[in-house]
Amino acid sequence: MKFLDQAKIFIASGNGGDGCASFRREKYIEYGGPNGGDGGKGGDIIFEVDVNLNTLIDFRYQQHFKAKRGENGKGKNQTGADGKNLIIKIPPGTEIYNEDKSVLLFDLIEKNQKIIFTKGGKGGLGNSHFKSSTNQAPRKFTKGEQGEERWIWLSLKLFADVGIIGKPNAGKSTFLSKVSNANPKIGNYPFTTLNPVLGTVKRFDEEIVLADIPGLIEGAHEGKGLGDKFLAHIERCKILLHLIDATDKNWLKNYETVRNEISKYGKKISSKKEIIVLSKSDLLSSTKENIVKEIKNLINSDIFVISSINYEGVEKLMDNLFTYKNIVDD
């Protein structure tokens, strides 16, 4: 599935139906009087969270959304039918901004959450409302109100239990493909992953969602390498799984670069629970234990050593992820 986390769309609620100018016409009743009905209300624009969605890609192909108009009133005091509401499905974690992105209007995060974003116009009044002692046969009626219309921005920040972070080519996508149902693009070169990828791991009645965040480089918090967009998706992750390529002699610098970018980005990301994972252990020499010991001495955090190729240490890591998730949820 293709991924899109920003979309600009045009929305318009429905116009109200017009009132009706009508008169009662029955045999033996010479002066029946007005009986024009009111117009129906225009349809609302409603946003609804759908947990089965995790991208805004559908909005690439459709940018204009308009609810139905209310029907006009009819004779015999019949009110026109209301226009049908238009429900727009969005993934959890979607933010709605005004056209210039200066104001956050809504932040939709709850399962099945609904908001009426723009209300349809009210229906017009039929001529029966305008009968008076001095005007027994009014021809006056009113038009329905116009619906609301505007351009808005949708911005998605992914919801995941675990955000997988690290420098480019640290083995994040390979790990995700081995432990979950995800099928990310994998290659032995930097920036293989250009968009976040979600994967789900199920064990009995438990489930954990992992997000493979594209590699972070120096200057990411300022937008270098689209890093600010990638960092935004970490905001709502409960746990950070920091993968370090144990075969890279610059592993400490790589680790500090990512942590520095997270700290500079702010929004309390740096305070999240972090688990350090040394990847590609199958490529380490016989000095593997010395390298692991050195890393543990320099980084004060939970550290796991894995190989996504031969599955070394992966089962133990996943056991701990489920445990950490339950602790965070409590």
CATH code: domain of residue 99: 2.70.210.12
Shared-domain flag, residues 35 and 141: yes
Shared-domain flag, residues 136 and 182: no
Shared-domain flag, residues 124 and 97: yes
Burial of 90: CB neighbours in 10 Å, binned 0-12, 13-18, 19+: buried
Shared-domain flag, residues 11 and 148: yes
Containing H/E element for 325? Answer: helix 314-329
Tokens of 83: 């226009």
Residue-level pLDDT, tens digit, the chain, 330 residues = 466 788 999 999 999 999 999 998 877 666 678 999 999 999 999 999 998 888 888 998 999 999 999 999 999 999 999 999 999 999 999 999 999 999 999 999 888 999 999 999 999 999 999 999 889 889 999 999 999 999 999 998 877 889 998 888 888 888 888 888 766 444 443 434 456 788 888 887 888 888 888 767 566 555 555 446 677 788 888 899 999 888 888 888 888 888 888 888 877 888 888 899 988 888 776 666 777 777 777 777 778 888 888 888 999 999 998 988 888 776
pTM above threshold 0.95: no
Q: Which residue among 156, 189, 216 closes a domain?
A: 156
Shared-domain flag, residues 139 and 222: no
Shared-domain flag, residues 293 and 316: yes
Shared-domain flag, residues 271 and 285: yes
Backbone angles phi, psi at 17, to 5 degrees: -75, 155
Q: Which residue among 114, 131, 156 closes a domain?
A: 156
Backbone angles phi, psi at 190, to 5 degrees: -65, 155
Shared-domain flag, residues 89 and 138: yes
Shared-domain flag, residues 202 and 97: no
Under 8 Å between Cβ of 182 and 54: no
Shared-domain flag, residues 80 and 125: yes
The partner residues of 155 in beta bridges, in order of sequence, read 6, 95
Residue 278, Cβ neighbours under 10 Å: how many? 27
User: What is the tally of structural domains in the chain?
Assistant: 2
Domain membership of residue 170 as a residue range: 160-329
Q: Which residue among 120, 139, 156 closes a domain?
A: 156
CATH number at residue 264: 3.40.50.300
Edge-to-edge strand ranges of the sheet holding 64-66:
64-66, 6-12, 149-156, 94-97, 104-108
For residue 195, give every residue at least 6 positions away whose Cβ sits within 8 Å of its Cβ, in sequence order, or none: 2, 3, 5, 214
The distance between the two most distant Cα atoms of the chain, rounded to a whole number of Å, is 109
Shared-domain flag, residues 201 and 224: yes
CA-to-CA distance for 305 and 258, rounded, in angstroms?
19
Shared-domain flag, residues 101 and 233: no
- The residue behind tokens 């619906």 is 147
